[in-house]
């Protein structure tokens, strides 16, 4: 049996026109010979009645009285509503279908309510229905503990449900449907000549997702990579195949010829750079610095440590707390607020000389200072001021011929 998993996000289910497109995608894959499993998110976004954030907002007035287990019971309602409605619409279109909750689909998790991790999937019930020719609609974002309590999987949970089910069912492919036609080389709101990307590696899409290109959750991609299942990021409103995510075999082939080494550019805002050094009363002590921040759940990035100082970044909403904690330890702290992290991403950069030189040349030409930099096998990151970010994105996009 050839199985395909189709995941539809909230915007794909928010209007009658969108839901009709969902039905068309299901029909097409059935006509192509696939047994179809559909995973759905809650309908719409914050402000719409059944969106996850709207449900979460209902609890905010109760503060410390919120029980995490009961909160997950509430948050799971959005997917139950959307699955029930789309299941009925599928049957109305003449296609046999059945709706299963995450628990009924065999998704078992730990008991970390609000951010549960999938520990096992027993998909026998899904397979039984597929063997009867039914489309199986599964509520995304949720599962159950061994004790039967409802859990939710945290941000991107429906993407995670889809790829985890794809792995458990040995699906041929997982399609993630959104309101954009795949992954673009850059944010089109900031880079006018951003282009669609036809194919990326798992590593590249994970970098893009973590650094701002939020079309698929990195946790979902990691599950697909482990199971070696291709993922397509597609638009609900188009029949185009979007962006294919799969193993980049050329990464392991030293004779492969690449016409470009950079695949895309992403960014993150709201970052503060900290310069921390010793004083007459307290020597520069990196262990003291990072243990202090860790004890208060402050995550750090862009870390450079030398004998005289430490340089790193934190999220802007935590910079005042970080400043206070470190100055209380009698360390000298300087804040550089309103910074942006730009990610130049591409599996083909690994081992290629001259990439950083081109980045520096492009930004220098535009008068943009690089405040810090870091790199990995598939990405180079540079820190710049927020006010220069848009110019930096456009310059780098052109430098690496991503507009072709």
CB atoms within 10 A of CB 26: 24
Interval 107-154: pLDDT, tens = 999 999 999 999 999 999 999 999 999 999 999 999 999 999 999 998
Output the DSSP codes for 349-397.
Answer: GTT-TTHHHHHHHHHHHTT----EEEE-SSEEEEEEEGGGHHHHHHHHH
Summarised one tens digit per residue, pLDDT across range 289-320 is 999 999 999 999 999 999 999 999 999 999 99
Mean pLDDT for all residues in the chain? 91
- The pLDDT score that the predictor gives to residue 253 is 40
Enumerate the domain spans of the chain: 3-179, 264-399
Q: Kindly report, residue by residue over 57-91, the tens digit of the pLDDT.
A: 888 888 878 899 999 999 999 999 999 999 999 99
Q: pTM to 2 decimals? A: 0.82
Quickly count: other Cβ atoms within 10 Å of residue 354's Cβ. Answer: 10
Query: Mean pLDDT throughout 316-333?
Result: 96
Could you give the angle at the alpha carbon of 164 between the alpha carbons of 162 and 168, nearest 5°? 115
Topology of domain 264-399, CATH: VC0802-like (3.30.2130)
The CATH number assigned to the domain with range 3-179 reads: 3.40.1160.10
Contact criterion met (CB below 8 Å) for 338 and 369: no
The pLDDT score that the predictor gives to residue 257 is: 35
Q: Classify residue 385 by burial, with Cβ atoms within 10 Å: 0-12, 13-18, 19+.
A: middle
Mean per-residue pLDDT, 327-353:
90
Reduced to 3 states (helix: H, G, I; strand: E, B; else coil), residue 182 is coil
Residues 6+ apart with CB under 8 A from 64: none
* Residues 379, 389 contacting (CB under 8 angstroms): no
Place of tokens 């998790």: 109
Residue from 3, 348, 396 nearest 185 by CA: 396
């Amino acid at each position: 049996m050839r199985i395909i998993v189709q995941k539809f996000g909230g915007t794909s289910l928010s209007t009658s026109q969108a839901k009709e497109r969902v039905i068309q995608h299901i029909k097409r894959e059935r006509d192509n010979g696939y047994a179809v499993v559909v995973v759905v998110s809650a309908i719409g976004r914050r402000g719409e009645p059944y969106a996850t954030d709207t449900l979460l907002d209902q609890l905010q007035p109760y503060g410390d009285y919120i029980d995490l287990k009961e909160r997950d019971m509430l948050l799971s309602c959005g997917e139950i509503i959307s699955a029930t409605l789309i299941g009925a619409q599928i049957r109305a279109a003449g296609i046999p279908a059945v709706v299963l909750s995450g628990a009924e689909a065999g998704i078992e998790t730990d008991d970390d309510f609000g951010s549960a991790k999938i520990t096992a999937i027993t998909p026998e019930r899904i397979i039984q229905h597929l063997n009867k020719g039914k489309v199986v609609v599964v509520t995304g974002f949720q599962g159950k503990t061994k004790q039967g309590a409802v859990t939710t999987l945290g941000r991107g949970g429906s993407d995670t449900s889809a790829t985890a089910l794809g792995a458990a069912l040995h699906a041929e492919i997982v399609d993630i449907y959104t309101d954009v036609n795949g992954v673009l080389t850059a944010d089109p709101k900031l880079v006018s000549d951003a282009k669609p990307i036809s194919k990326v590696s798992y590593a590249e899409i994970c970098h893009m997702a973590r650094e701002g290109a939020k079309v698929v959750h990195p946790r979902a991609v990691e599950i697909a990579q482990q199971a070696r299942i291709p993922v397509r990021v597609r638009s609900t409103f188009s029949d185009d195949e979007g962006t294919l995510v799969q193993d980049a075999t050329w990464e392991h082939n030293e004779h492969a010829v690449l016409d470009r080494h950079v695949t895309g550019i992403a960014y993150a805002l709201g970052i503060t750079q900290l310069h921390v050094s010793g004083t007459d009363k307290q020597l520069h002590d990196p262990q003291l610095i990072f243990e202090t921040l860790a004890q208060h759940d402050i995550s750090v990035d862009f870390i450079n440590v030398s004998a005289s100082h430490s340089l790193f970044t934190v999220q802007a909403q935590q910079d005042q707390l970080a400043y206070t904690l470190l100055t209380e330890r009698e360390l000298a702290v300087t804040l550089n607020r309103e910074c942006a992290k730009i990610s130049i991403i591409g599996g083909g950069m690994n081992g290629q000389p001259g990439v950083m030189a081109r980045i520096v040349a492009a930004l220098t030409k535009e008068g943009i200072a690089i405040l810090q930099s870091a790199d990995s096998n598939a990405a180079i990151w540079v820190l710049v001021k927020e006010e220069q970010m848009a110019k930096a994105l456009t310059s780098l996009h052109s430098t690496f011929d991503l507009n072709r």
